[in-house]
């Protein structure tokens, strides 16, 4: 089963995703995609580290998410990926000229093959003003495309605002 948890910055999406992972009654693998490029990001990472259960296994995977899903996907566990948007940012920074449609297809294909429960966290970045600069617009465009593709493949999609979940999709019956 694939779940997508969307929301803005500080909306409560990570907390909600962690609650979903804990309720799964299986071991949890937390895949962290963030990199501490500055002190502000280091503080954000530390905040996430303090708020997740110590018994969870953690893998840092800023770029190689697809391979990790392939390697870990057949284990009886919940896989919490926090977050897809930072993974996309890392991809755009390191490999700006790659075919993002193909990258997203590979991510979806790997996710659909997983027997593990997957919970993706992603930022909804398209609700604000149109950003200045080509690379910023490319990021917003690709993030929107990624969220659409993952939402289409997902069984459940939640939008979090002010810490409250809004169910956008729930196709869990029969799974």
Indicate the domain borders of the chain.
Answer: 2-169
Q: What is the pLDDT of residue 168?
A: 97
Crossing angle of the two packed helices 13-23 and 39-51, in degrees rounded to 10: 30
Query: Can you give the length of the chain in residues?
Result: 175
Place of tokens 């996710």: 111
Catalytic residues: 48
Parallel, antiparallel or unpaired: strands 28-32 and 156-161: unpaired
- What distance in Å separates the CA atoms of residue 9 and residue 51, rounded to the nearest whole number? 16
Residue 160, CB-side half-sphere exposure with 13 Å CA sphere: 22
Q: What is the pLDDT of residue 135?
A: 87
Contacting residues for 75 by C-beta, under 8 A, at least 6 apart: 27, 29, 115, 116
Q: Rounded to the nearest 5°, which phi and psi values hold at 127? A: -95, -10
Q: What is the pLDDT of residue 175?
A: 47
From first to last of the 175 residues of the chain, give the pLDDT tens digit: 999 999 998 899 999 999 999 998 899 999 999 776 667 766 766 666 667 788 899 999 999 999 999 999 999 999 999 999 999 999 999 999 999 999 999 999 999 999 999 999 999 998 877 778 888 899 999 999 999 999 999 999 999 999 999 999 999 865 4
Cβ(73)–Cβ(110) below 8 Å: yes
The domain 2-169 having CATH identifier 3.40.47.10: the answer here is no
């Amino acid at each position: 089963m694939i779940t997508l948890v969307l929301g803005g910055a500080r909306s409560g999406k990570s907390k909600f995703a962690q609650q979903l992972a804990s309720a799964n009654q299986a071991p949890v693998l937390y895949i962290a995609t963030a990199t501490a490029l500055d002190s502000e990001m280091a503080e954000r990472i530390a905040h996430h580290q303090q708020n997740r259960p110590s018994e969870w296994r953690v893998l840092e995977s800023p770029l190689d998410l697809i391979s990790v899903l392939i390697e870990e996907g057949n284990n009886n566990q919940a896989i919490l990926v926090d977050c897809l948007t930072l993974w996309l940012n890392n991809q755009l920074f390191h490999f700006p000229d790659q075919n993002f449609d193909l990258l997203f297809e590979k991510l979806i294909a790997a996710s659909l093959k997983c027997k593990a429960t997957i919970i993706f966290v992603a930022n909804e970045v398209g609700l604000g003003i149109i950003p200045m600069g080509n690379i910023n617009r490319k990021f917003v465009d690709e993030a929107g495309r990624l969220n659409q593709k993952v939402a289409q493949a997902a069984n459940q999609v939640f939008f979090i605002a002010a810490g409250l979940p809004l169910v956008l999709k729930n196709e869990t019956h029969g799974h």
